């Protein structure tokens, strides 16, 4: 398949490389002027998408996505697929989807879960919104870049699924960290805490798979001084997107709002910038109720 890939950063670069390694003809573009093994670099985004069957974007935010869409949609061939894998606001995803459909393209918003490690290993999960025909055409590419792709409905629903999932993740990680900090102050051994909770009604992905306590449970960023697997900065971005969507949809999300405010303080006012989102644990350990 002839593919364009716009945005070749920490996530997009490995994804594009995996497609090229699988035998697809991949042309890439990134404003940083990077290079990726097996990918032919173009001078512009519009040049990269000329004549392709699928154009994939992996971009930092909705404003940049809209600007790139304005450039590449007119340059794409009718019936091609515009596949955006960025994590952006739902409104931008739906606006770009409408723009692509009006130009005769298939439009998919397909944010991912799995981080840089998943991008490199080809084990990402894709949450996909958009038309069914476009999803079927892109399915072989999802199978190369990831381990699972779920069609969540019309345009914007992929972003909706991502921000709802990550709102749950942010809330449960905070609860897990609070509980470990409380256990410490009650004299409960962390391993005993893990052994009970991980097999009881308090179990969660944050506890069982990504435990924020060093030396407890499977290896996680906590065992590497909280070097990011998923940065607190990115969790803050996703929680802000969730709160923006909640406001637009008139949804009551008090725990999501509280989680967003805690991560804002952690990243912007404390020492959370550049650390894993599970570094909330030492943050709580170092604090009392005041």
Per residue in 59-81, pLDDT (tens digit) is: 999 999 999 999 999 999 999 99
Q: Is the pLDDT of residue 29 over 80?
A: yes
Decide if 162 is catalytic: yes
Strand partners for 84:
57, 109
* Domain spans in the chain, listed from the N-terminal domain onward: 2-153, 160-286
Domain 2-153 classified CATH 1.10.730.10? no
Cα 79 to Cα 85: distance, rounded to the nearest angstrom: 19
* Active-site residue (options: 95, 137, 162, 237): 162
Over pLDDT 70: what percentage of the chain?
A: 100
| Helices marked H in the chain | 12-21, 45-49, 62-72, 90-102, 115-121, 132-145, 157-185, 190-197, 205-208, 232-249, 254-268, 280-285
pLDDT in tens, 142-156: 999 999 999 999 999
- The angle subtended at Cα 51 by Cα 38 and Cα 119, nearest 5°, is 40
Q: How confident is the model at residue 289 (pLDDT cuts 50, 70, 90)?
A: confident
Cα 5 to Cα 39: distance, rounded to the nearest angstrom: 9
Per the structure block, which two tokens stand in for 99?
A: 């723009």
Q: Say if CB 139 and CB 147 are below 8 A apart.
A: no
DSSP reduced 3-state for 229: coil
Strand partners for 41:
28
* CATH number listed for the domain at residues 160-286: 1.10.1040.10
Q: Say if CB 238 and CB 167 are below 8 A apart.
A: yes
pLDDT in tens, 5-24: 999 999 999 999 999 999 99
């Amino acid at each position: 398949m002839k593919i364009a890939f716009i945005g070749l950063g920490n996530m997009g670069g490995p994804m594009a490389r995996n497609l090229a390694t699988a035998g697809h003809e991949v042309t890439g573009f990134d404003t940083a002027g990077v290079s990726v093994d097996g990918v032919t670099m173009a001078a512009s985004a519009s040049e990269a998408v000329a004549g392709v069957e699928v154009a994939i974007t992996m971009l930092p935010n909705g404003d940049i996505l809209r600007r790139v869409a304005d450039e590449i949609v007119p340059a794409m061939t009718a019936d091609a697929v515009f596949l955006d894998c960025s994590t952006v606001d739902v409104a931008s995803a739906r606006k770009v989807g409408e723009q692509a459909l009006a130009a005769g393209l298939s439009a998919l918003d397909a944010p991912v879960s799995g981080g840089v490690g998943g991008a490199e290993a080809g084990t990402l999960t894709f949450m996909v919104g958009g038309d069914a025909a476009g999803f079927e055409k892109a399915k072989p590419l999802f199978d190369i870049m990831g381990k699972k792709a779920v069609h969540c409905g019309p345009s914007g629903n992929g972003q909706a699924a991502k921000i709802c999932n990550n709102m749950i993740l942010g809330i449960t990680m905070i609860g897990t960290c609070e509980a470990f900090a409380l256990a410490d102050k009650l004299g409960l051994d962390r391993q005993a805490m893990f052994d009970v909770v991980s097999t009881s009604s308090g179990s969660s992905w944050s506890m069982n798979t990504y435990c924020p306590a060093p030396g407890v449970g499977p290896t996680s960023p906590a065992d590497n001084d909280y070097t990011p697997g998923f940065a607190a900065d990115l969790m803050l971005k996703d929680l802000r997107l969730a709160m923006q969507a909640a406001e637009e949809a008139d949804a009551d999300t008090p725990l999501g709002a509280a989680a967003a405010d805690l991560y804002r303080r952690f990243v912007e006012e404390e020492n959370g910038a550049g650390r894993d989102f599970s570094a909330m644990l030492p943050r709580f350990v170092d604090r009392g109720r005041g």
